[in-house]
Amino acid sequence: MALPYSLFLYLLYLSSTNAARFNHLDEDVRSPSGTSKFGSLWPLPQTVELSDVSFNIASSRFQIVDAVGSSAGPGCSLLQSAYRRYFDYIFTGVRSAESRARSAELTQLQVLITSADAECDGFPGVTSDESYELTVDQPTALLKAANVWGALRGLETFSQLVYEDDFGAKTINSAKISDFPRFPHRGILLDTSRHYLSTKVILANLELMAMNKFNVFHWHIVDDPSFPYMSRTFPQLSKKGAYQPYTHVYTPADVKMVIEFARTRGIRVVPEFDTPGHTQSWGKGQTNLLTPCYSGSAPSGSFGPVNPILNSTYDFMSQFFAEISTVFPDAYVHLGGDEVDFTCWKSNPDIQKFMEQQGFGKDYSKLESFYIQKLLEIVTATKKGYMIWQEVFDNGVKLNPDTVIHVWKGTQQQYQSEMARVTASGYQTLLSTPWYLNRISYGQDWQGHYKADPQDFQGSEEQKKLVIGGEACLWGEYVDGTNLTPRLWPRASAVGERLWSNKSVTDIGDAYARLSLHRCRMVRRGFPAEPLFSSFCPQEYQGL
């Protein structure tokens, strides 16, 4: 039946007023001043001096080279590959206009590494120096850093200073920048168990992490749904626990490639092997590892968390983490310890008997602590430090002084109280609660991520110094290679600036102006970062 014309007009009126109402909600950040005096710099450096004096850069005459006296010469392959990568990024653009040689031209970026050990062949660590100084003047620019990690961050900043003039020629303004990160741990968590992520997708996001000055890839590599990590010691774990044992696994070569790709971008790879919960996929390839659940007096056929009362459990964990300590070079491994469901333990008569023998009564958190304590001793024996989710701390497990407590639960008030308790106990801590990017909503939710600060809690200055940073987490229930990158970026960029830039950098309007341009830069470089709001990029994404 045809819609009456009067009703059609009324519905059209309602839709237009609703649209106007939704537009009004975002008006404050949709129409800021339009530009920032800092251009497209993201995250914003600690100190920036920009002048109106500009120089053209021509691809045929511009070079990135080692400065005279630099401790990293042509043999530093990490830097040499970075020079080529950033040269390509600088000269990737909408147009290919080439300015004629003229006096106002920048011809070189010289990179000076000042430390005797440039760390070209090393791995970044929690204490790595990422500071740098950048001076742009004619005819050369100078990037000065103690080691390669600072130089990598400075190269990204230099590339962000380059823009196109009205004629399409590459241009850069005279500048002086001094920069260093506010926090030493700036991470992204990706979940490769709930959906398998190809190495191509992982490498693309490592590249994006470098563009946003993140320095930790928290690889939540296994969980209940699947076990894609291919273990040399226990190959049956992935053969039986992966979604597909040949196509949906990370071979030793894959893992090595990810670690090396990350290293050359100044990114640590911290693997997470979460136990005793989140281990259903482990049990498929390791007999007797999980606890048999009971229905009444008979086994139900289902299984619960890792069985904490068997010696074979700890023999397995000793061998497994001995392997992990050799595969992943970082000083830390994440041991999880969160969300342990006690239902199955409570149903098992052998567990009940063990609880009585140990004097645990009916408090199954004590049994969890018993298991975690033994696991921590195993990992400590491998000479690794460890990170754990906050439940391990909350349950009173005895922890090494260098343990990192990862806070993820609760409302703003609750996680702030948790941060205060953890730091009051003398432990270093990371924050993730406000940065669970798998939680999405209509509108510009990046603003909330941007406003959250890991040191925003009641505590002394000494307590706040124990906050070493935070991580943006993208859990994988509804994310795979088809939608991960646009869902993560540029929303994670907001977290990146909060963790890198000075605490005083809080202007949402200025951030919107810079982040809009930074998002277009990621798109221009070939990555499908989603838009902040109605807008356009000079070069739209051409991925399809």
> Which amino acids are annotated catalytic?
339
Q: Which has the closest alpha carbon to 491: 526, 440, 425, 416? A: 440
Strands 385-389 and 404-407, bridge-based pairing: parallel
Token pair, residue 312, equals 């074979």
Strands 185-191 and 216-220, bridge-based pairing: parallel
Cα torsion 169, 173, 177, 179: sign:
negative
- Long-range residue pairs from 531-536, CB within 8 A, at least 24 positions apart, any chain: 532/444, 532/446, 532/490, 533/26, 533/29, 533/30, 533/444, 534/30
Q: Is the peptide bond before 276 cis (omega within 30 degrees of 0)?
A: yes
Token pair, residue 534, equals 């109605």
What does the radius of gyration of the chain's CA atoms come to, in whole angstroms?
26
In contact, 274 and 338? CB cutoff 8 Å:
yes
Compute the distance between CA of residue 182 and CA of residue 369 in angstroms, rounded to an integer.
Answer: 34
Q: Which has the closest alpha carbon to 153: 107, 174, 117, 184? A: 184
In contact, 314 and 244? CB cutoff 8 Å:
no
Helices and strands per DSSP (H, E), number in the chain: 19, 17
Strands 132-136 and 140-145, bridge-based pairing: antiparallel
In contact, 139 and 105? CB cutoff 8 Å:
yes
Alpha carbon distance, N-terminus to C-terminus of the chain: 40
Token pair, residue 426, equals 């003398």
CB count within 10 Å of CB 83 equals: 18
**Dihedral angle computed from the Cα positions of residues 472, 477, 480 and 486, in that order, rounded to the nearest 10 degrees:** -50
Question: Per DSSP, which regions of 146-283 are E strands?
Answer: 163-164, 170-179, 185-191, 216-220, 268-272
Token pair, residue 415, equals 């996680």
Q: Compute CA 146 distance to the chain's CA centroid, rounded to the nearest angstrom.
A: 24
- Token pair 């691809």 is found at 59
